[in-house]
Amino acid sequence: MSRGKFITVEGSEGVGKSTNINHVRTRLEEYGIEVVQTREPGGTPLGEEIRELLLDHRHTGMSQDAELMLMFAARAEHLNQVIIPAIDAGKWVLCDRFTDASHAYQGGGRGIPTERIGTLEQWVQKGLQPDFTLLLDIEPEIGLERAGKRGALDRFEKEEIAFFHRVRATYLERAQQFPERFRIVDASQPLELVQAGIDELLIQFVEHALAAGGRSG
């Protein structure tokens, strides 16, 4: 059995990840691909409890190191219980954020050194990386305005605007550092244009992967 693929969708607040992840799933299923859709932090019962801790306003002031290690604790469980078993079974995993978000939020946003994040990344992931990462990019001011219209903001969404500029800059740096797997779409466009851009990039990846027998990496 061929190994499945691991697709991640990244971006800061207000980029439309939920809507566009559902669009990506629909496109994949049109090719007859079995998709496991999940999210970070979360994806498992333990991970979802950690997610609630991380987003809850009661924990405003949480130390940066505690935040980072909670993210990787949830990720370790997620990999063990969901992501790796699905890929090994030939399914394609579609994940709302992964470790690039830790580099962007805890690294760029909080200022935790890249080397410290990288140590946890190697320990928890043991070299596993996404095969394809879709980065939905937007100016933070536009994204936060959109996010505010959805309802109450969580602990991260209430950060100052400079935090989100650092997050965005780090995401774009990651895309330059790993061009073989990153693809960027301008999420400030009307939805139909965003999804047309996604289709162009995604279909190219999918057809190449299927032609190669669906092998991972």
> What pTM does this model have?
0.94
Task: Please report, for residues 16, 85, 149, 167, the alpha-carbon distance to residue 146 in angstroms, rounded to integers and kept in the order given.
Answer: 9, 36, 5, 17
| Phi-psi map region of 11: left, alpha, beta (phi>0 left; psi -120 to 50 alpha) | left
Please determine, looking at this structure, whether the domain spanning 6-211 carries the CATH number 3.40.50.300.
Answer: yes
What is the per-residue pLDDT across 15-46, written as a single tens digit (0 to 9) for each?
999 999 999 999 999 999 999 999 999 999 99
Taking alpha carbons only, the member of 156, 74, 66 closest to residue 109 is: 156
46-89 per-position pLDDT tens digit: 999 999 999 987 888 899 999 999 999 999 999 999 999 999 99
- pLDDT value at position 217? 37
